[in-house]
Structure 1
């Protein structure tokens, strides 16, 4: 966690100097992938993006030393043989560049054991069970650490693969400020009310998530400088909403300025930044979140383990939201045959928006349970 904490402190100190900067500079880095093309998720994605931005890496593709070494061999009946080209000539050796330092990523694996028979089953099978069936099993999580590197000689040793990786990591064309589209599936989720809770677009200056009503209120799209600002700020509130008891059960009514408040705000900011970057958008620090940069720094300096909880929450939060976005995107691909009813039931029967709402993190009122989190437009 030491490297992660140092990176986060450096990032927040940089943002504190100019909070109008985005969490990740546009075009500076793209969501990190491994050599198989799979994106890293949650906390790993966040930290690898920070490291790539810090080091100025152009292609955010990472691999373990074993995975990079394995690129030099092919499997045969007799074991393995050196990789060759079409003419049978041995290909140049792929290796990590001299002096490049690895960076740690984390993977949590789960062992699921039947409490009576001691039989082990795959974690995916366990997740498909009902709560009654799951009660017969005990889950043992194990956090594993892997070191990955990004700077290799692939460009010289495997030029075709390098061009492929470069194309995958290409930066989306910048949108014009007048462009009011962000990402099709994200726009669909917000405008068609397909998130886990209702999203009300209300003309005004406030953006917040209400714990008591389980709803999000956001200013109208036209009030933002562009759709990326609208979408990224909505994703911040969506991140708060994942903490509801019926979802990730992370939120607890807390007083303005408390440690719980600080942690939740940082979780929502980082989650929104990761998701925005994954879909080619920028996420600026929210005006009101900027005021807590100093508080976040204090927490990181005094209690480095504070970040461990935040990163764990970011991982779960981003996973839940991106799964919903991807499910909507898959449905959109069906065109006229698309059916969004699977996303609707959770939003039906909800009380219409009222000005009297409880927010996830906010200024203390006469009733400490009633909290409101304000948004000031103009990014």
Structure 2
């Protein structure tokens, strides 16, 4: 069983990385949970605001390990303010908050030097499934189940709003930096609508990293090196975020096994790598969601 320990304040980077490594070594990706009860969505705070970045992965992982189906998570105090009571003996889960302190120092020449010191704090939350007497909407979830053979028009519309050039044909899915287009096999070639939609979102994330967009660079020189693995890991995580936002269950890619070894090598070599990947993934997701807002504003005008 994988665990993100809550009893001590050991290195949070190492704790989370070790838990994710354990899942990958068991053949499970924590960013592609099996969505019990159709719950394909982001974890939510008590006020309905979604968690982001590494906290999304942490809470998906805990929900999968402990069998929680409610997407809501909150502190002990927040539960009490809502009239709830955390059941005796329930274990909390640790999430993180990243911030920075501004510091001013005077050097030997009398000049003031401003510096920004990043920090990471942890705090404990409980799933709504661990809490009694909460308002009903925290535990009674209703989900629309889409027929497996139905095409996800929401994914098609999401990609179309970005203006990305999408071509169909052949038997490979990829993003081509040289021609700045996404290549996809025909929809009919995929096993399911989920496979098609999530593969398309994965390639869209690669598209977002182009120099004219987010200019994301990991110094990749060849297939399978650490830079390539970092970009693929990021794309996997971001695609899972987008799929959850659109209510689509993330499907394992056919090349999943080929990437496991390279992902594990990156994570074992740098305990902060998954935090960095999740941060870049969240940035890419926000960037791509930005096109949807522009499209909605244009329609409104």
Which bin holds the TM-score, normalised by the shorter protein?
0.7 to 0.9
Deviation readout 1:252-296 (Å, 9 max, x if unpaired): 452112110111111111111122122221222221232111221
Q: Secondary structure at the match of 2:175?
A: strand
Larger radius of gyration: 1
Match of 1:286 in 2: 253
Distance in 2 of aligned mates of 1:308 and 1:154: 27
Match of 1:204 in 2: 170
Distance in 1 of aligned mates of 2:243 and 2:270: 28
Task: Give the 3 Å change call, closer, same or farther, for CA 31–170 of structure 1 in structure 2.
Answer: farther
Task: Give the 3 Å change call, closer, same or farther, for CA 153–103 of structure 1 in structure 2.
Answer: closer
Deviation readout 1:80-117 (Å, 9 max, x if unpaired): xxxxxxxxxxxxxx33333333333333446899xxxx
Find the partner of 1:32 among 43, 48, 63. Answer: 43
Could you state the TM-score of these two structures normalised by the residue count of structure 2? 0.78
Distance in 2 of aligned mates of 1:100 and 1:318: 33
List runs of 5+ in structure 1 lacking aligned partners: 73-93, 114-137, 340-379
Match of 1:125 in 2: none
Find the partner of 1:170 among 105, 123, 142. Answer: 142
Deviation readout 1:354-378 (Å, 9 max, x if unpaired): xxxxxxxxxxxxxxxxxxxxxxxxx
RMSD: 3.1
Find the partner of 1:54 among 65, 73, 81. Answer: 65
Task: Give the 3 Å change call, closer, same or farther, for CA 304–142 of structure 1 in structure 2.
Answer: closer
Distance in 1 of aligned mates of 2:139 and 2:81: 20
Deviation readout 1:25-75 (Å, 9 max, x if unpaired): 133544210110111123222221121111111212111234334445xxx
Distance in 1 of aligned mates of 2:166 and 2:115: 35
Distance in 1 of aligned mates of 2:102 and 2:193: 44
1:10 aligns with 2:10: no
Task: Give the 3 Å change call, closer, same or farther, for CA 54–326 of structure 1 in structure 2.
Answer: farther
Find the partner of 2:85 among 86, 95, 100. Answer: 95
Distance in 2 of aligned mates of 1:172 and 1:294: 36
Could you state the TM-score of these two structures normalised by the residue count of structure 1? 0.64
CA contact (8 A) 2:203 2:235 kept: yes
Deviation readout 1:96-140 (Å, 9 max, x if unpaired): 333333333333446899xxxxxxxxxxxxxxxxxxxxxxxx894
Match of 1:65 in 2: 76
Find the partner of 2:181 among 215, 218, 231. Answer: 215
